[in-house]
Amino acid sequence: MDVFDAIMARRDVRNEFSGEVIDDATLMRLLRAAHSAPSVGNTQPWDFIVVQDRGTLSEFAEHVATCRTDFAESLPDDRRDTFNPIVVQGIESSGTGVVVTYDPSRGGPHILGRHTVDETGHLSVALAIQNLWLAATAEGIGVGWVSFYHQDVVRELVGVPDGLDVVAWLCVGPVTELQRVPDLERFGWRDRRPLSDAVHRERFASLDVVGHANQAGPN
């Protein structure tokens, strides 16, 4: 698979995990792809905690279910009806969680490039995740990014040291297929914006100029 094929085929997976557990050699290839990402000041501020204990997966899934309920209850009726059928995690069915953390102290006090834009630390971790996600797609492995959690719960569950941020819980596992259309589009939550709305030339163009196609959802 070339890189464009992987970019286009990549999907956030919730429902399509096959129930098998990823083998360790494949998992390590994905983690090597993640660990090869660019990072601000070459700090490599990420760590990856591989979680395969059924009890831990089940405990985390219960916590996520609570966060899902809280979100559903915060929605106006029409959005809640759209949200209700959408699955937001495949924690147990994937068989493997990869918790990705960010360590702001990695690299010491003088981080080349982060002195002006502090977010570049977190952004570096996001690039590692995207590397893993694309490599997984090329390997026929699905990934689902779960952010319906409270950091302190994950910190406690998998022993993340103080001072590190929990950036993501990734569900990683073999899949039966990858959907062609993202779930949030298929279930009417929000469509992908046209590229022409996202591309600006010379200066940021107002919505009046680029159109309103990206305003499909109310929030």
Ligand X SMILES: Cc1cc2nc3c(=O)[nH]c(=O)nc-3n(C[C@H](O)[C@H](O)[C@H](O)COP(=O)(O)O)c2cc1C
In the complex, which residues of this chain contact ligand X (CB under 6 A)?
A: 11-12, 14, 88, 145-148, 182, 184
Angle subtended at Cα 54 by Cα 48 and Cα 59, rounded to the nearest 5 degrees: 85
Which of 184/210 has CB closer to ligand X? 184
Q: What is the closest distance, in whole angstroms, from the C-beta atom of residue 155 to ligand X in the complex?
A: 17
Which of 14, 114 has the CB closer to ligand X? 14
Residue closer to ligand X by CB (options 13, 107) is 13
CB of residue 94 vs ligand X: minimum separation in angstroms? Answer: 12
Q: Tell me how far apart the alpha carbons of residues 138 and 6 are, in angstroms, rounded to a whole number.
A: 6
Least Å distance between CB 88 and ligand X? 4
**Minimum distance of ligand X from residue 163's CB (angstroms):** 21
- CA–CA separation, 48 and 100 (whole Å): 5
Number of Cβ within 10 Å of residue 3's Cβ equals 9
Nearest to 72 by CA among 89, 57, 88: 88
Cα separation, 140 vs 175, in Å, equals 7
Closer Cβ to ligand X, 42 or 147, answer by number: 147
Tokens of residue 157, six digits = 């569950």
